[in-house]
Each structure stands twice: as C-alpha cells, then as structure tokens.
Homo-oligomer: A and B are copies of this chain.
Amino acid sequence: YWRLSPFVRILSTITLFILLFGGVIHIIEPTTYQTWFDGIWWALITTTTIGYGDLVPHTLLGKIAAIALILLGTGFVSTYFVTLSAKTVSRENALFAGEL
C-alpha cells in the first residue's frame, strides 16, 4: 500500500469510503436506497458536495450515517481535488516551460 503514490492512495481511500458508506446506507434505509449502487451514487454525490437531492436519508439512523460520511469523507475528497488541481497546473506549467 505504501509503495503507491499519495494520489493513488487518496483515490483508493475515497473509493473504499464510498463503497463502505454506500453499503451501510443501503442496509440502514433500503426503501430509499434500493440497491448498493444507489448507496454508492449517493455517497459520491454527497462527499463531492454536489448534493443533487435525488436521494436523501429520511430516517434518524440514515441521517446519522450521512453526518459521519460528511465529517470523515469530505476532507478526503477535498484532498483529492486539490491534489488533482496541483498536478494539472504543475504539469501544464512544465509543458509550457518545455515549449519555450
């Protein structure tokens, strides 16, 4: 695991988080989240802070699971986007410098 680059590790941690919480919410609120994929879709839309509102937990337990996902998962997703941003900009700059 530690032989992987930080970027790949962050991405795999996020994937694990989303798969896990997607499964948890599907078990807790099967009437809202009818499949595991429904849970995964919701967990991704939530942690990226897009929040379409097409799937929202209605039970107290479902909302508590959502709060846990938000407090733990959003930091990782922010890290991913910032890392991706920094990578893109530095690669662009490197290419730009190479061209001149």
A96 touches B2 (CB 8 A): yes
A45-63, CB under 8 A of B: which get 1 and which 0? Answer: 1101111111010001001
Specify which of A10, A63, A79 lies most central, judged by the most chain B CB atoms within 10 Å of its CB: A79
Contact of A54 among B46, B53, B70, B76 (CB under 8 A): B53
| A residues contacting the other copy or chain, number (CB 8 A) | 40
A70 touches B48 (CB 8 A): yes
A63 to B63 alpha-carbon distance, docked (Å): 23
Q: Is A30 an interface residue (CB 8 A)?
A: no
B63 touches A88 (CB 8 A): no
A2 touches B78 (CB 8 A): no
